[in-house]
Amino acid sequence: MDESRHAAIKASVVEAMQEQMKDFYVEREKHYQHHQFIDGLMEYSRCWKSTCMKAIAHAVIGAIIALVVWGYIAWGGKVFQAK
């Protein structure tokens, strides 16, 4: 008697869940494609961040080098004019 009661409750729960969740059901293949798309976006984002950070780092290093050269030229001009 306990087993049949358990089976009846289980069947009722499954039926109730199917009724409640039918609006949220997504086919397996479509769900998989969604994950593939999201994975592609994440990879693109990761690459973009890497490229962007490299470009910013190169710009900062270039600016520092330009300032050092500019400062050296300005300093050298003052030193050599004084002589």
Stretch 67-83: mean pLDDT, rounded? 80
Q: How confident is the model at residue 62 (pLDDT cuts 50, 70, 90)?
A: very high
Stretch 27-47: mean pLDDT, rounded? 92
70/82 Cα distance (integer angstroms): 19
Per-residue model confidence (pLDDT) at position 29: 94
Q: How confident is the model at residue 14 (pLDDT cuts 50, 70, 90)?
A: confident
Q: How many helical (H) and strand (E) elements, i.e. helices and strands, does the chain have?
A: 2, 0
Q: How confident is the model at residue 16 (pLDDT cuts 50, 70, 90)?
A: confident
What's the maximum distance between 2 C-alpha atoms anywhere in the chain? 111
**Domain count across the chain:** 1
Per-residue model confidence (pLDDT) at position 83: 58
Instruction: Find the domain containing 16 and state its range.
Output: 2-82
